[in-house]
Chain A
Amino acid sequence: MAGYAIEMHGITKTFGSVVANKGVDLNVKSGEILALLGENGSGKTTLMNMLSGIYKPDSGSIYINGEAVSIDSPEDAKRLGIGMVHQHFKLVDVFSAADNIWMGKEKSGLVLKKKRYDEIKDITKRFGFDLDPTKKVYNMSVSEKQTLEIVKVLYYGAKIIILDEPTAVLTVQEIEKLFNVLRAMKAEGHAIIIITHKLNEVMEISDRVAIMRKGEYITTVNTSETSEQALTEWMVGHKVNLNIDRPVVEKTRPLLEVRNLTINNDEGATAIDNVSFYIRGGEILGVAGIAGCGQKELCEAIAGLRPIVSGQMIHKGDNIVGLPPKTILEKGISMSFIPEDRLGMGLAPSMSITDNMLLKNYRMGKSPLIDRKRGRKDALQVIEDLSVVTPSTETPVRRLSGGNVQKVLLGREIKAGPNVIITAYPVRGLDINSSYTIYNILNKQKLDGVGVLFVGEDLDVMMALCDKILVLCHGKVMGVVHAHKTTKEELGLMMTGSLDLSEKYADKPAGLAKDTFFEDENKKEG
């Protein structure tokens, strides 16, 4: 018994008729990083919420350092030295970093003291964090907010730290920084549980891996004695092919061409700076770049949701600059952007799957009445084609788990039969199985002659899936490379702006198609 920081025995938790956890056993030692692995909806977050006092198990027992405990509230968890960093941050935007930490403190007195900044600075120094205690949360990047959450947990003396998908919204560099912090915490004897979908991260950071499937505990293995393939099979329950196909398709003339495009962001600063590229039918063009370097603005501009400053965009030879979003949709350009909160754009969360299917084509037909029959038919088909797990077509989308939400969104976009798909972060936060489903969907579209713009995060995936990769750095194009010829290092250098391949070939400028439609127009004019 001794030696384990946490032991959970036979934990069962049900929500109504749904069994989220069924007889789960889990244990973690001090000075150890345990990765908790499982598909979306396999009950990882529920299990961790029971450790942090948000939920109470229906049955089962929890031991902390060998002692049976009952965790009834987050306060109890705090007292027992358990701290959780949630997927969705729980911070007060208008407070400084220090105040966000300080406000949860009991017996902190009534007066705000200058000392609080120093106290927090001490902690950040000890673990090698990069955090300014006086900075307001609304000025922070996602990675800073996360750091703040971790510091908060440490400040309250947590010995057991749970991180729920901490890497989902971080860049490669930020992840590396986070892992260094985790290693420092481990060296100090903390027990760490990390929930993640990314197998390469599991292999890199964890000592042991616990695997869950559909609410049940499967097994725990030592990381050094396993492989990504084995982990996936445990997680999914059957053999999975981890290779991503890149079918070769005959390419058409450019479907979408963008020339010298400049776009501002919400603050009025330049987000996309003089960018040119083109997408052919039967091609997947990847867009790589550090988070927040104009990807969102680019997607919105193409979909007609954001005005552009200058430049040209033509679709099959027709200008689309300045057209309303509705007209652009009707031309067959579909855009799906999965924001960090996953639900913010593209879906109406309280409405049913049926109603969400109708979102983009509800105007069809002259009748003033809405055609729910068609929506239901579409919903049934998407549910079947993409194996969406849902009680019915009338279930509100927000009740579905993350992966299923994304399948509904992408399913609808494809159902509309677009000829250009703009998709940003389609696998954000998805488990392996769902991610592969999405890759297959995109490949199938490519085979059908659709042009795909894939804004992604995972370079390994992009190099396997995309035909070409456009690299952005601070809104500027660093070059377009062939995915099968490039290396991760080269992409990394381009993303950080140390390597600029945009003028590699003087005779063939990056992003301009040889058989462009622009020439047509020039010829006509000449």
Chain B
Amino acid sequence: MNGFFSKMPRLPFHIVKRENCPLWMKCCFYLAAIVIALLAGALVLWAIDVDPWDYYYQMFTMGAVGNKRAYKIYMNYIKEFLPLALTSVALSLAFKMKFWNIGGEGQFIMGAVSAAFVAFKLGPVAPAWVTLIVMCITAMVIAGIYGLIAGILKVRFGTNETLMTLMLNYIALYFLTFIGETKADWNFFLQEKSARPVFESFKDIVIFPSIPLGEKFELNVCFILTLMVGAIIFVYLKYTKQGYEISVVGDSPNTAHYAGMKVNRIVLRTVFLSASLVGLAAAFKVGSSGVLSTSITDDVGWTGIIVAWLAQLNTGMIFIVSALICVLQFGSVNAASEFARVDSSFANMLQGLILFLVLAADFFIRFRIARTKKGE
């Protein structure tokens, strides 16, 4: 690297560390990053002959302005937002401990399948509220145990949790595919009548209730539950002894050990908690849509990683960031129906651009460029 720089012409400025960047300045940098990303996106749109202004308008309003069925759009938006926010919060727990749990996808699938299992088996014989609670608990426990596999292997044999959780993702994914494509007598997850393998819906058996607000808009209880879990995790990380332990283990495992903490136990406990919250997100998701699908995760296990990092593992920020990312994703799907020429994966590109530029903005928050004064 130095070799590279030394060949550059002498520059009249240099990089200086910035201390205590004020909040307004941080906000400005992040805002600038997003604006530049959008401008770059506009350039692409303009190149394929789409009016960027129209497109962005469609995207950011999610087609809700002037739409009689806007309430439907908001409800769908919230359905996308909840699993992402909760998964990101869950992952941030493990990340805080420097346990790189990138197994959100797998844990989500395991949670979703076990929640659906409970819905099919317990739903017809028990009251709805009992079924829903058992669904949540089962999903949490199964997902938690699934996450624990990587945790135990790391603690016991020093394996790399990144690789383990990554590989477990694929095991879970193919397990779900197996269920979704195997027509057999035992497979109650599929529709009996259909000749092709199609997931059976349990909408009529059990589903998370919604609270009607206003004329047509209904707020799913999962929304309130997710916010509550978020608040609890915020307090847990910031103000509890266990949260403190997570920070210390993340910062220096040696020090934690030296302070008399049972490091392995803390690691396992936190990994279980992280994975089980991903499972809870999955239970909310299947519990409110009433059906499994091979794309049940909506990639929240991956997007959640980005959200957690963009929010710098701050629980409050995670909710804001995931709300924004959801606007991007949901809005672009919506805009894609208006603009046939732009695929909905445009959102992915935009998301990548924003992530990249926000990270670049981070550089300017930590450093500033100063003019080099010439010595006399």
B157 within 8 A of A: no
Contact across chains for A16 and B244 when beta carbons are under 8 A apart: no
B244 proximity list for chain A (CB < 8 A): 355, 358, 362, 370
A372 proximity list for chain B (CB < 8 A): 239
A358 to B241, CA, bound (A): 10
Q: Closest CB-CB distance, A344 to chain B, in whole Å?
A: 6
A505 within 8 A of B: no
Contact across chains for B19 and A324 when beta carbons are under 8 A apart: no
A488 within 8 A of B: no
A349 proximity list for chain B (CB < 8 A): 251-252
A360 to B375, CA, bound (A): 51
B258 within 8 A of A: yes
Contact across chains for B240 and A370 when beta carbons are under 8 A apart: yes
Choose the segment among A51-59, A168-176, A278-286 that binds chain B (4+ C-beta atoms closer than 8 Å). A51-59
B248 within 8 A of A: yes
Contact across chains for B10 and A72 when beta carbons are under 8 A apart: yes
B252 proximity list for chain A (CB < 8 A): 343-345, 347-349
Please pick, from A58, A75, A106, A350, the residue contacting B251 in the complex, using a CB distance under 8 A: A350
A73 to B14, CA, bound (A): 11
21 contacts between A and B (CB under 8 A): A10-B376, A16-B17, A56-B14, A58-B373, A73-B2, A74-B2, A75-B6, A76-B6, A325-B260, A326-B260, A347-B255, A350-B251, A351-B248, A355-B247, A359-B248, A359-B259, A362-B241, A368-B240, A369-B240, A370-B243, A372-B239
Contact across chains for A61 and B255 when beta carbons are under 8 A apart: no
Contact across chains for A75 and B258 when beta carbons are under 8 A apart: no
Contact with B along A1-24 (1 / 0, CB 8 A): 000000001100011111000000
Known: A72-B10, A75-B2, A359-B255. A56 touches B372 (CB 8 A): yes
Contact with B along A162-186 (1 / 0, CB 8 A): 0000000000000000000000000
Contact across chains for B370 and A58 when beta carbons are under 8 A apart: yes
Known: A17-B19, A368-B240. A325 touches B2 (CB 8 A): no
A358 to B251, CA, bound (A): 15
B10 proximity list for chain A (CB < 8 A): 70, 72
Contact across chains for A10 and B375 when beta carbons are under 8 A apart: yes
Contact across chains for A16 and B20 when beta carbons are under 8 A apart: yes
Q: Closest CB-CB distance, A303 to chain B, in whole Å?
A: 7
A346 within 8 A of B: yes
A18 to B239, CA, bound (A): 32
Query: Which residues 58-86 in A have Cβ within 8 Å of B in the complex?
Result: 58-62, 68, 70, 72-76
A348 to B246, CA, bound (A): 11
B203 within 8 A of A: no
Contact across chains for A360 and B260 when beta carbons are under 8 A apart: yes
A329 within 8 A of B: yes
Q: Closest CB-CB distance, B364 to chain A, in whole Å?
A: 14
Closest residue of chain B to A368, judged by CB? B240
Known: A56-B372, A369-B240. A303 touches B248 (CB 8 A): no
Known: A9-B375, A61-B375, A329-B260. A348 touches B370 (CB 8 A): no
A72, A346, A348, A363: most-surrounded residue (chain B CB, <10 A): A348
A369 proximity list for chain B (CB < 8 A): 239-241
A291 within 8 A of B: no
The number of residues on chain A lying at the interface, defined by a beta carbon within 8 Å of a beta carbon of chain B, is 49
A199 within 8 A of B: no
B241, B248, B260, B370: most-surrounded residue (chain A CB, <10 A): B260
B345 within 8 A of A: no
Closest residue of chain A to B255, judged by CB? A348
Contact with A along B335-376 (1 / 0, CB 8 A): 000000000000000000000000000000000001011011
B186 within 8 A of A: no
B22 within 8 A of A: no
Contact across chains for A345 and B255 when beta carbons are under 8 A apart: yes
The number of residues on chain B lying at the interface, defined by a beta carbon within 8 Å of a beta carbon of chain A, is 33
Contact with B along A354-390 (1 / 0, CB 8 A): 0100111011000011101000000000000000000
A244 within 8 A of B: no
Main secondary structure of the interface of A (DSSP, over half): loop
Query: Which residues 372-429 in A have Cβ within 8 Å of B in the complex?
Result: 372
B72 within 8 A of A: no
Q: Closest CB-CB distance, A93 to chain B, in whole Å?
A: 18
Q: Closest CB-CB distance, B235 to chain A, in whole Å?
A: 8
Contact across chains for A345 and B258 when beta carbons are under 8 A apart: yes
A305 within 8 A of B: yes
B251 proximity list for chain A (CB < 8 A): 348-351
A346 to B242, CA, bound (A): 18
Closest residue of chain A to B236, judged by CB? A368
B257 within 8 A of A: yes
Please pick, from B2, B240, B259, the residue contacting A360 in the complex, using a CB distance under 8 A: B259
B18 proximity list for chain A (CB < 8 A): 16
Closest residue of chain A to B251, judged by CB? A348
B256 proximity list for chain A (CB < 8 A): 348
B210 proximity list for chain A (CB < 8 A): none
Contact across chains for A325 and B19 when beta carbons are under 8 A apart: no
Query: Which residues 95-115 in A have Cβ within 8 Å of B in the complex?
Result: 106
A76 proximity list for chain B (CB < 8 A): 6
B6 proximity list for chain A (CB < 8 A): 72-73, 75-76
Known: A72-B10, A358-B244, A370-B244. A305 touches B257 (CB 8 A): yes
Please pick, from A10, A72, A346, the residue contacting B255 in the complex, using a CB distance under 8 A: A346
A106 proximity list for chain B (CB < 8 A): 3
Closest residue of chain B to A106, judged by CB? B3
A17 to B16, CA, bound (A): 11
Q: What are the 6 tightest A-B residue pairs by CB atom distance, in nearest-first order?
A: A16-B19, A61-B375, A326-B260, A75-B6, A348-B251, A325-B260
A303 to B258, CA, bound (A): 8
B160 within 8 A of A: no
A155 to B242, CA, bound (A): 52
A325 proximity list for chain B (CB < 8 A): 257-260
A351 proximity list for chain B (CB < 8 A): 247-248, 251
A329 proximity list for chain B (CB < 8 A): 260
A83 to B241, CA, bound (A): 48
B239 proximity list for chain A (CB < 8 A): 369-370, 372
Closest residue of chain A to B368, judged by CB? A16
B5 proximity list for chain A (CB < 8 A): 72-73, 75
A305 to B253, CA, bound (A): 13
Contact across chains for B241 and A368 when beta carbons are under 8 A apart: yes
Closest residue of chain B to A343, judged by CB? B252
Query: Which residues 1-45 in B have Cβ within 8 Å of A in the complex?
Result: 2-3, 5-6, 10, 14, 16-20
B254 within 8 A of A: yes
Query: Which residues 301-321 in B have Cβ within 8 Å of A in the complex?
Result: none
Q: Closest CB-CB distance, A497 to chain B, in whole Å?
A: 31
A9 to B376, CA, bound (A): 9
A53 to B370, CA, bound (A): 17
A57 to B10, CA, bound (A): 15
Q: Closest CB-CB distance, A112 to chain B, in whole Å?
A: 19
Known: A17-B19, A351-B248, A368-B240. A59 touches B373 (CB 8 A): yes
B3 proximity list for chain A (CB < 8 A): 75, 106
A68 to B375, CA, bound (A): 10
B376 proximity list for chain A (CB < 8 A): 10, 61
A360 proximity list for chain B (CB < 8 A): 259-260
A324 proximity list for chain B (CB < 8 A): 260
